[in-house]
Structure 1
């Protein structure tokens, strides 16, 4: 029996990682046992609730015992004496010494960030090592994010264990960071068996950064279920636009409000997602003209968002982020046959084509966004149907969950078999 240990950031707890739910279902179909550890929450010392916020398949086991072990160890190593314990381990001491010159180029704050990542990785590594000793059967350690969880897995070197991490956006693109540095980036890739970026752009980025590690990279996109083109266009002249994201600076949601201020035709904008920066967007939307209507829905769970697509007309999905991996929100819109306008960053162009929507510049002006909204408002019913079919076709070709996740599971099984045979 093969056990897959799934290292998430917070799943099955809110907020965050909610889109893991679909993939977890496929993992549980492919493997007899799946152990889930929300290591991000543990490393952040967030207490675990006995009852998860999000559903788990029957053969998925929430390992609260390992969660609490990571949490306890992280508290210990985060103390001044704890760093000494990390340095006493020869493997982590060598890891840090190799990383130190790179981190030091960006100053002491970056060095401290690197040491914090090492401390978190050390805690996860210790718990995973103890867990692996308990298992006699082959194991797959699968980290959803390439951060301290992947570092902890990468530091294990066991013949019966396959170590794999996905790479998305914040854990992949150096330019997202100021300074442009991600702790142990190259060392994690060199130690893991495989790193699986979720976009071809991600593969290309890592291959250009670390050409000597190209053979450890393998593209596996995420996927969503078929929305069966279940959305419909507006029955009146109003352009109905939807966006969905947290209100972080990288998402630039306020830029949408700036663009709407330039529109001289009726628009209804609905935004899903919220955080403490919501008030800035609310101030801008309050000043919009009367023919521009705005609904800031705040946080909703994924089933509620998809229900909205089925029950309400949507003419355009809009994303103006300054950086992305390959957003699940765009995949969902495409599966429902919704034309998309999105900035050409990260892997966005892998799910948006000129036939299915609009590729905005990476740094669009409000006027450029408003011009696209005007074009969308002028689409004929025939043009709208053609775009809807093109969007759904891209979903089918590239991010169909029923294709992507079984292929990923088979890849994991094949690679584990090859490692065991070598």
Structure 2
């Protein structure tokens, strides 16, 4: 039996994050054996894995210092010293220095884990790191030394744009690029950034968007009755999501259109503190904050409530999954022009606003899109189908990985005849 493709995650299937990993595993499983390898595990029970996907807890159960002999420590020290030589001023920042040390420790941990697998007599394995993070760094060092896997690394937003990183610094980018057979960013914007940063690796960069599945409930369900003009958003209270600005914009929408009754549904971290700072809330605005909900519930809410506009005010993004989900549900989108968002959103499916937008200007765009919403729904669905559908994402991922990651003909495929 052929060796499976190993997919390295941060915690998935443990914890509540990385919810979109499951769909990617399903796509990969349709093309061969897949084993998910979480780098860490939490106390919570694991989520159910997609059919046919296996799990390996060898890395998650490994201690930080176990097996870190000279064969691991020396390459880590060399790479760390090289970073100090390249970025001496940047590494004077405490947060940047802590990030570098964290990468060094975690990179050594994954190198020790990989060396232990070598002793099992396995053929050279194929590995997809779901993030260009410390685990990707450690495996890239192994590959550069000629003892590592055939390595591909996903790249999203926080692991591409240094402006989003602690201390505005991402460690060991050159090592990851040099040791990877493929770099798979989720947007063309991220791909351009990687090619400019690593010209020697430019030919190995392939854009592979995440994509989302078609909602099960219905296709373009009719707008429910009622007088409220409904807006929806979905985000955490991470600083880059700018939940305070989002709240300010929605309040401004209601203030500038007092003849209408508005309703705002926000899924994710409640904006309570921001609303308190912005009070009073206009009398023609009702606010619902269900809190953090599972990904499936986000889709159900979008499909059942049929909002006029989905709103995103982030200062930085890769390609927002929530924007792809909104388009799949036929919901027009107003979002900031950051990262890969402009690759999905324009005047045909909603509206883009500059990242420096103020509340009044953003509110004006939202009101305009809300007025045009019924005429934009078909275009929103079509945009999802062309640029963010599950089928598109699967094709881009498999093509992006290339022939070195293809499963041998004997590999067991889910759904194939035996």
Quickly name the TM-score band, shorter chain normalised. Answer: 0.7 to 0.9
Question: Which residue in 2 is equivalent to 1:154?
Answer: 140
2:38 matched residue in structure 1: 38
Alpha-carbon separation, structure 1, partners of 2:290 and 2:99: 35
**Which residue number in structure 2 is paired with residue 95 of structure 1?**
79
Whether the 8 Å contact between 1:272 and 1:297 is mirrored in structure 2 is yes
How big is each residue's C-alpha offset from its partner over 1:249-287, in whole Å with a ceiling of 9 and x where there is no partner? 110111122123322332111111117xx5423424762
Which among 125, 148, 152 is matched to residue 139 of structure 1? 125
Match for residue 211 of structure 2 among 196, 213, 223: 223
CA offsets, 1:195-248, max 9 Å, x none? 110000001112222323212211111111123644543534422111111111
Q: 1:208 to 1:99 in 2, by over 3 A?
A: same
Q: Normalized against structure 2, the TM-score is what?
A: 0.87
Aligned to 1:270: 265
Aligned to 2:18: 17
Give yes or no for contact 1:164–1:194 (8 Å, CA) kept in 2. Answer: yes
Q: Which residue matches 1:73?
A: 64
What's 1:182 paired with?
170
Q: Is the 8 A contact 1:285 1:294 kept in 2?
A: no
Alignment partner of 1:59 is 2:37: no
Output the CA distance in 2 between the equivalents of 1:141 and 1:64: 15
User: 265-274 vs 323-332, which deviates more?
Assistant: 265-274
State the number of aligned residues: 395
In structure 1, the partner of 2:288 is 295
Q: Secondary structure at the match of 2:142?
A: coil
Check conservation: 2:309, 2:370, Cα contact below 8 A.
no
What do residues 365-395 of structure 1 show as CA deviations (whole Å, max 9, x unaligned)? 000121122213333xxxx343111111111
TM-score, normalisation: structure 1: 0.86
Q: Which runs of 5+ in 1 are unaligned?
A: none
> Which of 376, 383, 390 pairs up with 1:394?
383
Q: Distance in 1 between matches of 2:308 and 2:70?
A: 54
Deviations 1:172-210 (A, max 9, x none): 001223543101112211221111100000011122223
Q: For residue 115 of structure 1, report the CA deviation from its aligned partner.
A: 2.0
How far the C-alpha of 1:86 sits from its partner, in A, is 7.1
Q: Pick the aligned partner of 1:254 from 244, 248, 255.
A: 244
Structure (1 or 2) with the greater helix fraction: 1
Matched residue, 1:5: 6
Work out the CA distance in 1 between the residues paired with 2:220 and 2:53: 31
Q: 1:376 to 1:121 in 2, by over 3 A?
A: same
Instruction: Measure the CA separation in 2 of the matches of 1:86 and 1:333.
Output: 51
CA RMSD of aligned residues (A): 2.5
Which residue is 1:194 aligned to?
Answer: 182
